[in-house]
């Protein structure tokens, strides 16, 4: 039987019967030096001289929500959103600068696997050391030891110094120690990606066992598919503020759309005039290029199979007989993937002059996830003169997240179908 601390008894009396965690306008403020100081000695000297200037920022800003007993709750947001700070409040590692955090029961934080391990000690010694840091006696750890090493699959290395362990072995032992607990609240911070595929499956099964026991689980991960798979609700943090909370499907979809919108704006800003990557006689000038989705809206993030439209506005400064317009598609590393043009398509433009627009439509993008660049060009009919060439100036991103498209190896999809004839 676990005895509750005074703070836990106080939390239980203030929480509603359903809630196990409640944050009420919880805020955390950090003070950091305005400039980088290389050594502690330099910092100490400058501190005495009064030359150290600090700036304050709110890692969490008046965050309020509750988590119910037995709920699997996701915390999502980009790096620096305040997720880890919030978890440290719930784990009682930090105290809020303002507001309060109420937690009933024992908390098992899986924040950093093997954070308390010493590289010069053996795996065996580190199991006991880590257990002591988690509040267990030596007798407790002696009872747990065999099952911990069994789970980590490290019997052949358990008496070797930890400095000889690979990063995967280090993480496996840390996960095995941290999850061999009885807790009311389990905090999981990006630890389901430790080890190889087999160990990841075993780790997920252990988390699932906690879930079946009715343990409240707080999950932080960038894997939105996992959040949707195991969480009932989610909270979205951004720059320390609570942006949204509610049904996991709704919150994750809003978050992903926000990420896509932000990335779309970034890619749009990357599309700029770079004189070093443009050349030609300018008898025909490419004035602007637009990448559009199937609704003719500007877009830079697509998914495999989505239609894409490329529009090229040109100005022919003199009459040109049968010019050729073309594009090239390159992967981010420079690999040339495709190069269609009007001549290959059998389109003879005749004599052109003045302004006009060339349109290239892709009914189903075959590209698999990654970043790609379009080049556009106008040349004469026998490709002996380049009128205008824009080299890899127009980026797109292929992102299949939450699109139900599992194919991911290589550059393109063949859109084939599998059949089994026994």
Question: Beta strands 185-189 and 107-110: pairing type?
Answer: parallel
CATH of the domain at 84: 3.40.50.300
Burial code of 261-278, b = ≥16 C-beta within 10 A, e = fewer?
eeebeebeeebeeeeeee
**Domain stop point among 259, 287, 317:** 259
253 and 309, same structural domain?
A: no
Average per-residue pLDDT in the chain? 86
Report residue 204 as tokens. 């997920």
* Residue 2 pLDDT > 50: no
Q: Is residue 160 part of a domain?
A: no
Return d(Cα 82, Cα 74) in angstroms, integer: 14
Q: Is residue 14 part of a domain?
A: yes
Report residue 247 as tokens. 């049904």
Return d(Cα 320, Cα 412) in angstroms, integer: 36
CATH of the domain at 356: 2.70.50.60
* Residue 37 pLDDT > 70: no
In the prediction, which pLDDT does 264 show?
87
296 and 249, same structural domain?
A: no
**Domain stop point among 198, 228, 259:** 259
* Residue 6 pLDDT > 50: no
240 and 306, same structural domain?
A: no
Q: Which of 126-135, 140-149, 197-206 reaches the highest mean pLDDT?
A: 140-149
In the prediction, which pLDDT does 193 show?
60
361 and 244, same structural domain?
A: no
In the prediction, which pLDDT does 226 show?
83
* Residue 215 pLDDT > 80: yes
Q: Is residue 251 part of a domain?
A: yes
340 and 219, same structural domain?
A: no
253 and 193, same structural domain?
A: yes
pLDDT bucket at 211, cuts 50 / 70 / 90 = confident
Return d(Cα 247, Cα 115) in angstroms, integer: 33
* Residue 73 pLDDT > 80: yes
Question: Beta strands 324-331 and 370-379: pairing type?
Answer: antiparallel
More confident residue, 112 or 417: 417
Rg (CA), the chain: 29
In the prediction, which pLDDT does 415 show?
84
Q: Is residue 38 part of a domain?
A: yes
3-state secondary structure (DSSP) of residue 96: coil
pLDDT bucket at 104, cuts 50 / 70 / 90 = confident
56 and 201, same structural domain?
A: yes
186 and 98, same structural domain?
A: yes
218-222, 364-368, 386-390: range with lowest mean pLDDT: 218-222
Question: Beta strands 233-238 and 72-76: pairing type?
Answer: parallel
Q: Is residue 414 part of a domain?
A: no
- The position carrying tokens 């993480």 is 171
292 and 198, same structural domain?
A: no
Domain housing 216: 6-106+182-259
* Residue 274 pLDDT > 80: no
Q: Which of 166-170, 230-234, 272-276, 324-328 reaches the highest mean pLDDT?
A: 324-328
314 and 203, same structural domain?
A: no
More confident residue, 35 or 189: 189
More confident residue, 182 or 421: 421
Return d(Cα 363, Cα 166) in angstroms, integer: 47
Q: Is residue 267 part of a domain?
A: no
More confident residue, 156 or 5: 156
Burial class (CB within 10 angstroms; exposed 0-12, middle 13-18, buried 19+) of 123: buried
Query: HSE of 261 in the Cβ direction (CA atoms, 13 Å)?
Result: 6
334 and 245, same structural domain?
A: no
292 and 241, same structural domain?
A: no
**Residues 160-189, mean pLDDT to the nearest whole number:** 85
The total number of structural domains in the chain stands at: 2
* Residue 421 pLDDT > 80: yes
pLDDT bucket at 4, cuts 50 / 70 / 90 = very low
The pTM for the full model equals: 0.73
Percent of the chain with pLDDT over 70: 87
More confident residue, 115 or 287: 287
In the prediction, which pLDDT does 112 show?
62
Could you read off the pLDDT of 344-362 as tens digits, one per residue?
999 999 999 999 999 999 9
* Residue 8 pLDDT > 50: no
Q: Is residue 211 part of a domain?
A: yes
Q: Is residue 362 part of a domain?
A: yes
* Residue 194 pLDDT > 70: no
* E-only strand ranges, 48-196: 54-68, 72-76, 98-103, 107-110, 185-189
In the prediction, which pLDDT does 330 show?
96
* Residue 53 pLDDT > 80: no
**Residues 221-250, mean pLDDT to the nearest whole number:** 91
């Amino acid at each position: 039987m676990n005895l509750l601390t005074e703070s836990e008894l106080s939390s239980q009396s203030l929480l509603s019967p359903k809630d196990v965690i409640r944050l009420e306008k919880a805020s955390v403020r950090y003070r950091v030096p305005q400039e980088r100081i290389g050594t502690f000695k330099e910092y100490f000297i400058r501190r005495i001289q009064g030359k150290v200037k600090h700036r304050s920022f709110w890692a969490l800003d008046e965050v309020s929500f509750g988590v119910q007993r037995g709920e699997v709750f996701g915390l999502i947001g980009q790096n620096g959103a305040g997720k880890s700070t919030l978890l440290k409040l719930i784990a009682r590692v930090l105290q809020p600068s303002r507001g309060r955090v109420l937690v009933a029961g024992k908390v098992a934080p899986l924040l950093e696997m093997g954070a308390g391990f010493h590289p010069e000690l053996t795996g065996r010694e580190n199991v006991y050391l880590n257990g002591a840091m988690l509040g267990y006696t030596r007798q407790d750890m002696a009872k747990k030891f065999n099952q911990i090493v069994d789970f980590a699959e490290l019997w052949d290395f358990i008496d070797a110094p930890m400095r000889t362990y690979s990063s995967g072995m280090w993480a496996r032992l840390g996960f095995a120690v941290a999850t061999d607990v009885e807790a009311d609240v389990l905090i999981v911070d990006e630890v389901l990606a430790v080890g190889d595929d087999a160990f990841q499956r075993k780790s997920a099964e252990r988390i699932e066992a906690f879930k079946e026991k009715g343990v409240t689980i707080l999950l932080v991960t960038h894997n939105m598919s996992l959040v949707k798979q195991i969480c009932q609700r989610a909270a979205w943090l951004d720059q320390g503020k609570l942006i949204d909370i509610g049904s996991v499907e709704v919150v994750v979809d809003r978050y992903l759309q926000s990420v896509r919108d932000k990335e779309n704006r970034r890619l749009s800003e990357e599309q700029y005039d770079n004189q070093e990557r443009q050349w030609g006689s300018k008898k025909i000038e490419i004035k602007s290029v637009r990448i559009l989705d199937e609704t003719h809206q500007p877009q830079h993030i697509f998914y495999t199979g989505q239609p894409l439209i490329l529009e090229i506005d040109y100005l022919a400064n003199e009459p040109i007989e049968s010019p050729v317009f073309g594009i090239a598609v390159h992967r981010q590393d420079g690999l040339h993937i495709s190069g269609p043009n009007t001549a290959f398509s059998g389109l003879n433009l005749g004599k052109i002059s003045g302004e006009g627009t060339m349109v290239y439509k892709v009914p189903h993008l075959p590209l698999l996830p990654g970043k790609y660049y379009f080049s556009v060009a106008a040349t004469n009919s026998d490709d002996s003169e380049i009128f205008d060439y824009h080299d890899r100036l127009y980026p797109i991103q292929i992102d299949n997240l939450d699109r139900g498209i599992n194919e991911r190896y290589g550059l393109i999809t063949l859109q084939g179908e599998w059949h089994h004839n026994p």
